[in-house]
Structure 1
Amino acid sequence: MKKIIIPAVLAALLLAVSACGTVPGGAGPSPADTSAGGSPSPSISPSPSEEEFVFTRENFPRMDGSTSTIPLGQAVASVLLGESRDNVAELAQFSKTTQSFRNLMDGGSDILIAAEPNTSVFEEMKQAGFTYDMAPIATDALVFVVNASNPVDSLTTEQVQKIYTGEITNWKQVGGADLPIEAFQRNAESGSQSLMEKLVMKDLKMAEAPQGYTIAEMEGLISAVRSFDGSSAAIGYTVYYYADDMKMADGLKILSIDRVKPDDGTIADKSYPFLNPYYAVISAKEPENSPARVMYNWLLSPEGQNLIKTEGYVPVQG
């Protein structure tokens, strides 16, 4: 196994996080910020039994993935290259979940940090004879958001299903005000739409959304729910990291489901019902010594998992 040489200041931070077991709550510098404005620090020497690997601009894998994993992609590039987050931002220009898998299949990228795509994408890869290695690196949750003024704090899984099949049409049916429910959806190829169909609806068919109620961007859906008609009639869904850690749901309420509030604890202990991993994905044909394969293995290592934790995601390991 290759030992990745990481600039010393950043490596020390990862070790410190591992030792204390805490996650910075947005205060203070992130791992990417510790080297901002300066040159990379001296590297840490690996043990003699491990082969060294150094990431450079020239060998850095072409990353792609989901919108909600862009901050993680930037952090990975920042740590592994020893540059500030601003300097590496162009290395994490992700093209959304479904398209990122197609880019990997077509040779347009080397590694994905992404949510699970629609099942049709797996069929596309199978038909093309494209084989891949795909491993979970973090866990996220699909969450439902309403206006902060909406008196409803919790829905059951069955109620959510009936809202999106069109059986429940008024908030008073679920303990709210006498208002029609305006249920926003994501576009068919988005990662959160795939999660909605897989985790929530299962074999149930979603009602066709009215014109203008299917939103292509996560930020657009959040904005639509927040500003709809100046009332609390709207509901929509997104991923927890985007809503909470990226603070995109400010002014909105994240609903509990089956009386379980989504947070880092309920995601980690799996008591929140709508969970799905983020994955690292590479071609199965990547050689063991390729930069993409080395990064893939690193994301699953204790150091990679510590970085995932510092960035506010819920790692799959501890």
Structure 2
Amino acid sequence: MDSKYIIGIIIAIVIIAGAYMVFASGSNSNKITIAGSTSVQPVAEKLAQVYMQKNPNVKINVQGGGSGVGIKSVSEGTVNIGTSSKDLSANESTGLNQNVIGKDGIVIAVNTANSVNGLTVTQLKDIFSGNVTNWNQVGGANAKIDVITREDGSGTRTAFEDLILNKTAKIKADAIVQSSTEAVKQSVKGDPNAIGFISLVDLDSSVKALTVNGVTPSEQTVSDGTYKLQRPFIFLTKGEPKGAVKDFIDWVMGPEGQAIIKSANVVPAK
């Protein structure tokens, strides 16, 4: 066979292979995976939906799992963005870049039939640690208090423990454990004697939000600091974000992304 013909075939193969690699690389670079906090998840999903509509070449997949999963996954490089609804410890934050996209309130939720309208931080500590076990001890009906909590590794639980229990007490051992804010809300909705904590993002008319120290949870009271039960919503990347991930985070931190965050009842970072 003519050597020039063979060389031509080799060159063609190299060009095709190179083009395929460029295409494949470009395709992968436009896929963004996000996982972590179930409180951040609905906000991240809204952001992703709008961003993909504006940038149809970018595909964003958003999953939950909890803040612990988000921190672990992004640290190990199995996702592009990890999400957390709690401040990271020094050990957790090693090698990670943090973008606080907003602030969220932690709502104390009870059944809509509950006559109690508000509790103090001290009362909440006593209820969740098991020192107070009947609603009549805090002005309610004569009924056992059913405590609903989140699983270990939940950013919402960690933030709640830091803010309410203050590392001087633990959530009672027989508390009912749920794996998402939605699951907590459904438990409270279905149990007239239940109490739990959920994200302000997830608050709706199916449950009743209690005042804490006389302050109603809202975007305004979280923003002005009068409602003390609040925590950050964080996007995490392994090192500085690059490429499509950087473009997406820049958009989230910009005016359009922050407006979407505000519409989700989260206090914008900017």
Which residue is equivalent to 1:206?
Answer: 170
Which residue is equivalent to 1:139?
Answer: 103
For structure 2, which runs of at least 5 residues remain unmatched after alignment? 1-25
Distance 1:83 1:302, change over 3 A: closer
AA at the equivalent of 2:134: N
SS of 1:62's partner is strand
Which residue is equivalent to 1:173?
Answer: 137
Q: Is the contact made by 1:64 and 1:111 (CA closer than 8 Å) also made in structure 2?
A: yes
1:83 shift after superposition: 6.0
Distance 1:64 1:74, change over 3 A: same
Whole-angstrom distance in 1 between the partners of 2:141 and 2:100: 41
Whole-angstrom distance in 2 between the partners of 1:292 and 1:272: 33
Give the structure with the higher percent strand.
2
Whole-angstrom distance in 1 between the partners of 2:217 and 2:33: 33
1:301 shift after superposition: 2.2
Whole-angstrom distance in 1 between the partners of 2:254 and 2:201: 21
Q: Is the contact made by 2:77 and 2:238 (CA closer than 8 Å) also made in structure 1?
A: no
Distance 1:190 1:118, change over 3 A: farther
State how many pairs are aligned.
244
Whole-angstrom distance in 2 between the partners of 1:263 and 1:203: 26
Distance 1:193 1:297, change over 3 A: same
Determine whether 1:92 maps to 2:62: yes
Which residue is equivalent to 1:158?
Answer: 122
Whole-angstrom distance in 1 between the partners of 2:266 and 2:240: 29
Alignment RMSD: 2.6
Distance 1:216 1:117, change over 3 A: farther
Out of 175, 179, 184, which is 1:216 matched to?
179
For structure 1, which runs of at least 5 residues remain unmatched after alignment? 1-54
1:286 shift after superposition: 3.8
Out of 188, 200, 206, which is 2:152 matched to?
188
Determine whether 1:267 maps to 2:209: no
1:280 shift after superposition: 1.8
Whole-angstrom distance in 1 between the partners of 2:100 and 2:124: 27
Distance 1:96 1:200, change over 3 A: same
Whole-angstrom distance in 1 between the partners of 2:260 and 2:206: 29
Q: Is the contact made by 1:64 and 1:112 (CA closer than 8 Å) also made in structure 2?
A: yes
| TM-score using structure 2 length | 0.80
Structure of greater Rg? 2
Which residue is equivalent to 1:304?
Answer: 257
Q: Is the contact made by 2:86 and 2:232 (CA closer than 8 Å) also made in structure 1?
A: yes
AA at the equivalent of 1:222: K
Distance 1:78 1:252, change over 3 A: closer
Out of 168, 172, 197, which is 1:237 matched to?
197
Identity, % of aligned positions: 25
1:98 shift after superposition: 1.0
